[in-house]
Structure 1
């Protein structure tokens, strides 16, 4: 398990959203990742809720602030404002509910309209424990992810299959992107120094590595 106990010291803070239609299992995925327990009592999320967990990755301690967003239509305007604040999104559909899969294109459009280009996005097909009721094939999920350039994985919050892998894969993508941006900033600063352009009036302020 990549999940470790949360404490006050960390190297990065990443904000991750769970998005998708109501009933696809977002809240159950959140509970499984944070406490390794199944949330048996289904209650539709009202607005947004969040929990914290910590991952160890590539020698860094990363705190995840995981936001569980409501899937009902009446909350979409409210949850859209959280997209710009996030570093990553897990877009979830239910493999036993074809409509939830078809609606992912609407979610993708809303995310693209309200997020930044730095956002890392992953497509999740949840409830693979209910294989006998499957309506969306693995190939369909893979093809949609390919069309939009997304990572893809199928999960089960009930059995915990691939839940940790989903959060770990998304977190690694965010970390690699953040480190790449920092290295590019350093290279640009070195280039300015070599050109003699980086005087006291143009020298960038010291930047934290934390994506707070």
Structure 2
């Protein structure tokens, strides 16, 4: 009998049209999608991931990538997808500065589910990502898409984007989702993505085993905490 494979749930969130569907397809299927459609509600792609590949701790896990539709019309109903979250990928369009600015609102929308009264009673514009950085539970990755359309990726743009990722304690990737080579094995983007998935699995299944390879004193390895989103009842395999 085939052994059960443990799984983790990763939200993929960001404004409508930033390329979340193309991104999740590239990650899960290792090839570009030819004709992406608009996501209504949520679609799920599944990826097999080798945790700590090449070490004695290597194990296969399912990564569920929940591509949540970004239409503002569904803001009040999509919160149902924010339960049982183990990781978050924030996606923005590098040619659309507003989509990057809105990532703060997306985080606020997700974390308003944790019962935090201060957040519920404040404007999403006042949400400070750093105040929610903790020592465990929800890793975050920031991904900028449509990198091929940036004619000159100058230092000012780089500084603006990196500052947001640093506030989130997150790594950052820039991609052209139409190219397989964007996540080719050995590239810096592929390494960061693998490190992110390992961190998600680490915190979901191995946080109490004291085998973490991550240095949590580094701000980029600090991660979000949300009691509701990390309920121990979630995603148990019987």
State the shift of 1:151 in Å.
2.2
5+ residue gaps, structure 2, are 53-57, 116-135, 184-188, 211-231
Task: For 2:193 and 2:11, locate their aligned partners in 1 and report how far apart those are by CA, in whole Å.
Answer: 11
5+ long unaligned stretches in structure 1: 1-7, 185-206
Q: Is 1:141 the counterpart of 2:141 in the alignment?
A: no
Aligned partner of 1:196 in structure 2 is none
> 2:8–2:204: 8 Å Cα contact kept in structure 1?
no
Pick the structure with more helix per residue. Answer: 1
Larger radius of gyration: 1
161-170 vs 74-83, greater mean Cα deviation: 161-170
Measure how far apart 1:71 and its partner are: 0.6
Say if 2:41 is the partner of 1:47. Answer: yes
Give the TM-score normalised by the residue count of structure 1.
0.75
Cα distance in 1 for partners of 2:3, 2:78 equals 29
1:128 paired to 2:158: no
- Structure 1 residues 176, 73: closer, same or farther in 2, change over 3 A? same
Between the aligned partners of 2:3 and 2:159, the Cα distance in structure 1 is 41
Q: Which residue of 1 aligns with 2:60?
A: 61
How many residues end up aligned between the 2 structures?
182
Query: Scaled by the length of structure 2, what TM-score is found?
Result: 0.67
SS in 2 for 1:52: strand
Aligned mate of 1:25, from 19, 31, 42 = 19
Q: Is the 8 A contact 2:138 2:203 kept in 1?
A: no
Give the deviation of 1:127 after TM superposition.
1.4
